[in-house]
Amino acid sequence: MPAAPDIASFSATPREADEKFNAACRKAGLSPVVFTHLLKGPEGEPLATTVALMGPHESKNVMMVVAGTHGIEGYAGGGVMVQLLNNAGEIRLPKDTAVLFVHQINPWGLAWNRRENEDNVDLFRNLLYCDPPYADNPGFDDLALSLAPPAWSGPGREEADAKLRSFVQQNGERELTRIMRLGQHKHPKSLTYHGRGPTWSKRVVDRIIDGWLAHASNVATLDIHTGYGPVGDGLIMSYAQEGSPGLKWLREWFGDVHVTGHDPLIPTHARWPYDIVADRVPGARVRTVALEYGTSDVDILDFDLVRENNYRHLYGDPLSPEGRAIQKRFRARFYVETDAWKTKVLKRGVDVFGLTLAGLERWAKSP
């Protein structure tokens, strides 16, 4: 019988998260490898991405579990990993199969209560679009300063808000959301910035692929996120269209799948970020499973919450009373620190882990 969810698997700080993950690795007999970040957390604490492998290093079939692609969302994935590792005796690995745990791939974002990294880059997008040619988003260019104003009060803020109101009146709120979420490469201090070149985390991902996945034939990645869907539920997300092979295998593995369709909050990408494994491992078959936990009764983000958190980090002082207050609110939007939410996250996470591992085993046997 699976172990009961232990909400002590979760953490309140990056330091605690690292300590619990490392302790769980040791309990499971694993040897974690640490990639130390160049920067520190708000209390001067060290930041790191930690990797641990369960199973033979030369396995042809590898399941990679990733927490923290979007920084602050990493507390959920980290909790699931600790729950799994503390009960590693219950995990039965199929023949020639390993599990690679990647704990907090964007540790700076986790520490500073941001989805972005230290360069204000959305890592999800940077993994996919870090190399030229860079796509244009002309609709964003005219709104860049209004979306992320360099002043949070006074005439500058008023002008930014007036411009956004005018745009919405003429084009609709849905179009503003679409333009913003589509992202951009030109405005490093504005929202949804993809970067212009590989970030620290992208380079770490490349090292992880080269060091642990170069020999793999079949790779299934479980990428854990928060912030969308019913509170505490873990949705399996898909960009795939009805009738497509991508949607077919997801339903075979998991049954219910949330198809994003034309939701402006979730722009469609040609592939998931960790599908880049195939770019560095010729011949490998790669599938990504995106697990998204709901955190709010309202799917739409508080627009001004996003804008102010951006302002306090890029133009203000994130450690001022105002900065800490907005970080606290932003954190709560992506990490629900209640026993009920944590329990649901762990139950669903362990279940999806098992389904993914079983799916990988069946897939590895297929042509």
Instruction: Mark whether 125 and 208 lie in a shared domain.
Output: yes
The 10 Å Cβ neighbour count of residue 316 is 17
Q: Is residue 16 in a domain?
A: yes
Q: Is residue 2 in a domain?
A: no
Give residue 303's pLDDT.
87
Instruction: Mark whether 318 and 270 lie in a shared domain.
Output: no
Q: Is the pLDDT of residue 137 over 80?
A: yes
Instruction: Mark whether 45 and 29 lie in a shared domain.
Output: yes
Confidence of residue 298 (pLDDT cuts 50, 70, 90): low
Confidence of residue 300 (pLDDT cuts 50, 70, 90): low
Q: Which helix (H) or strand (E) holds 81?
A: helix 74-86
Q: Tell me which of 195 and 266 has the higher pLDDT.
A: 195
CATH code: domain of residue 243:
3.40.630.10
Q: Is the pLDDT of residue 146 over 70?
A: yes
Instruction: Mark whether 209 and 65 lie in a shared domain.
Output: yes
Instruction: Mark whether 39 and 146 lie in a shared domain.
Output: no
Q: Is the pLDDT of residue 8 over 80?
A: yes
Q: Is residue 1 in a domain?
A: no
> Six-digit token pair at 200?
């620290």
Q: Is residue 183 in a domain?
A: yes
Instruction: Mark whether 182 and 100 lie in a shared domain.
Output: no
Q: Is the pLDDT of residue 305 over 80?
A: yes
High-pLDDT (> 70) share of the chain, %: 97
Confidence of residue 109 (pLDDT cuts 50, 70, 90): very high
Q: Is residue 62 in a domain?
A: yes
Instruction: Mark whether 45 and 179 lie in a shared domain.
Output: no
Instruction: Mark whether 72 and 177 lie in a shared domain.
Output: no
Instruction: Mark whether 108 and 17 lie in a shared domain.
Output: yes
Q: What is the mean pLDDT of residues 70-89?
A: 98
State the average pLDDT for the chain: 95
Give residue 265's pLDDT.
66
Q: Are 63 and 222 in contact (CB under 8 A)?
A: yes
Q: Is residue 270 in a domain?
A: yes
Query: What SS3 class is residue 105?
Result: coil
Instruction: Mark whether 228 and 253 lie in a shared domain.
Output: yes
Contacts of 143 (CB under 8 A, 6+ apart): 163, 164, 167, 176, 179, 180
Q: What is the mean pLDDT of residues 212-227?
A: 98
Give residue 302's pLDDT.
84
Instruction: Mark whether 51 and 113 lie in a shared domain.
Output: yes
Q: Is residue 248 in a domain?
A: yes
**Cis, bond preceding 133 (omega within 30 deg of 0):** yes
Instruction: Mark whether 183 and 308 lie in a shared domain.
Output: yes
pLDDT digits (tens, 9 = 90+) for 197-217: 999 999 999 999 999 999 999
- Domain hosting 149: range is 138-191+304-326
Q: How big is the CA angle at 39 (ends 33 and 42), to the nearest 5 degrees?
A: 110
pLDDT digits (tens, 9 = 90+) for 322-355: 999 999 999 999 999 999 999 999 999 999 999 9
Give residue 239's pLDDT.
86
- DSSP-derived secondary structure letter, 273: G
Give residue 287's pLDDT.
97
- DSSP-derived secondary structure letter, 274: G
Number of domains in the chain: 2
Give residue 22's pLDDT.
98
Q: Is residue 95 in a domain?
A: yes
Contacts of 341 (CB under 8 A, 6+ apart): 231, 232, 295
Q: Are 219 and 364 in contact (CB under 8 A)?
A: no
Q: What is the mean pLDDT of residues 67-91?
A: 98
Give residue 159's pLDDT.
97
pLDDT digits (tens, 9 = 90+) for 33-71: 999 999 999 999 999 999 999 999 999 999 999 999 999
Quick one: residue 231, left, alpha or beta (phi over 0 = left, psi -120 to 50 = alpha)? beta
Which amino acid makes up residue 91?
A: I
Dist. CA 132–CA 65, nearest whole Å: 28
pLDDT digits (tens, 9 = 90+) for 240-297: 888 889 899 999 999 999 887 666 667 778 899 999 999 999 999 999 999 999 998 7
